[in-house]
Amino acid sequence: MKNILVLSMALLSFLVKAQVKHFDFDSILCVLDGKVIKNSDVIRDSLDHIVSIKSVKIEDIQSLRILKGKAATDKYGDAGKNGVMEVVLKKNTPVDNDHKRDAIDPKSTQVWELTPNVISAGKNPAEPPSDAIVLFDGKNLLEWASESREEAKWQVKNDAVTVVAGTGAIKTKRTFGDVQLHIEWRTPAEVKGDGQNRGNSGVFFQEKYELQVLDSYENVTYSNGQAGAIYKQHIPLVNVSRKPGEWQTYDVVFTAPRFSQTNGRIIEPAYMTVFQNGVLIHNHVALTGPTENQGLPVYAPHEKGSIMLQDHGAPVSYRNIWIREL
């Protein structure tokens, strides 16, 4: 029922915009992850006859079908995240050219059957909601391991976990795709070094896409490597860094990249939206590949990955880490 409703809405919206005059053939519309596929030969043959329409009625739909897995890839070259959905209109479907958009019954576009899950919000923005996975609550590192999947050796003290230089990065035992992440971090109060050598660490999504952690309070470095930068790809909109030794927050929405299941090509890049200390610093920016220190980013197919915290030699601390799978 959910897929039928979603597809019906998508079809109605598309046909209104496409302005189809009349169908005297079985018109097939394919939708991949909610988007009309325009480059398929099957679709192109059908759309060649599209001329003019103001609206279409749901009752003119003859059938709906959802293709998944091999059936979808064999026909369209890709299965998508939710499969490929096909709709076939009835033959010789008449359409009234004088039927205006504002004449459509508003009730026909109301969705009642689908309702969002009900969760409980935290008492403040830093507190995890009821559906969050708490990755670190100040007590232990049970959710974490070293890069080699051994016991994490960072120091847990005073409700925080601090980098122990030379022990390597730590990463979550669980792997994730699309997520909302809340994490709080602090660079050392005692300032040592400058540029990239001052309170350096990083938060990696899927172990590949780094959101830079750095003491960027009155500390000059390259702009796409400062605190809040998506390392060497996106400069933060503003520098909202607090003083050394003060706790700071990142709230991140990360959308994982999508790859073709047949040939591994990139279908959709990764995206990030980031708030630092409550201030928007990245607004749904696209990543051009994994963040690299040397060389240019290039996408390669991969599955879900861990959240990873970097050991860059500085005693950077973290606390109150929670995540929501999207």
Residues 142 and 100 in one domain: no
Q: How far is residue 311's CA from residue 321's CA, in Å, rounded to a whole number? A: 17
Q: Are residues 184 and 321 in the same domain?
A: yes
- Same domain assignment for residues 96 and 144: no
User: Is residue 189, in this structure, part of any structural domain at all?
Assistant: yes
Q: Counting Cβ atoms within 10 Å, is residue 60 exposed (0-12), middle (13-18) or buried (19+)? A: middle
Same domain, 187 and 275: yes
Residues comprising the chain, all counted: 326
Q: Tens-of-pLDDT digits for all 326 residues of the chain? A: 444 444 445 554 444 444 444 433 334 445 544 454 443 433 333 433 333 333 446 677 777 777 777 887 777 776 666 677 776 767 665 555 455 566 778 888 888 888 899 999 999 999 999 999 999 999 999 999 999 999 999 999 999 999 999 999 999 999 999 999 999 999 999 999 999 999 999 999 999 999 999 999 999 999 999 999 999 999 999 999 999 999 999 999 999 999 999 999 999 999 999 999 999 999 999 999 999 999 999 999 999 999 999 999 999 999 999 999 99
Cα-Cα-Cα-Cα dihedral of 243, 207, 256, 182, to 10°?
Answer: -30
104 and 51 in a single domain? The answer is yes
216 found inside a domain:
yes
Is the residue at 249 inside a domain? yes
Is residue 74 domain-resident?
yes
Q: Give the 3-state secondary structure of residue 108.
A: helix
**pLDDT score, position 178:** 98
- For residues 164 and 263, state if they share a domain: yes
The verdict on residue 117 lying in a domain is no
Tell me, what's the pLDDT at 101? 62
Q: CB of 270 within 8 A of CB of 257?
A: yes
Contact (Cβ atoms closer than 8 angstroms) between residue 210 and residue 203:
yes
Distance CA 165, CA 53 (A): 66
Give the angle subtended at the CA of 324 by the CAs of 320 and 326, to the nearest 5°.
Answer: 160
User: Six-digit token pair at 207?
Assistant: 């172990």
Are 192 and 67 in the same domain? no
SS (HEC) of 6-58: HHHHHHHHHHHHHCCCCECCCCEEEEECCEECCCCHHHHHHHCCCCCCCCCCH
Q: Are residues 145 and 283 in the same domain?
A: yes
Structural domain count, the chain: 2
Helix (H, G, I), strand (E, B) or coil at 75: helix
248 and 142 share one domain: yes
Contact 267, 133 (CB under 8 A): no
Give the pLDDT of residue 72.
Answer: 75
**Among candidates 177, 164, 170, which has minimal Cα distance to 148?**
170
* Residue 300 and residue 155 share a domain: yes
CATH assignment at residue 234: 2.60.120.560
Four-residue CA torsion sign, 288, 293, 294, 299: negative
Beta bridge partners of 273: 253
Closest by Cα among 154, 18, 24, 236 to 227: 236
Per-residue pLDDT, 48? 39
Q: Tell me which residue range forms the domain holding 295.
A: 133-325
3 state SS of 233 = coil
Q: Specify whether 23 is located in the same domain as 56.
A: yes
Model-level pTM?
0.71
How many other CB atoms are found less than 10 A from the CB of residue 70?
A: 11
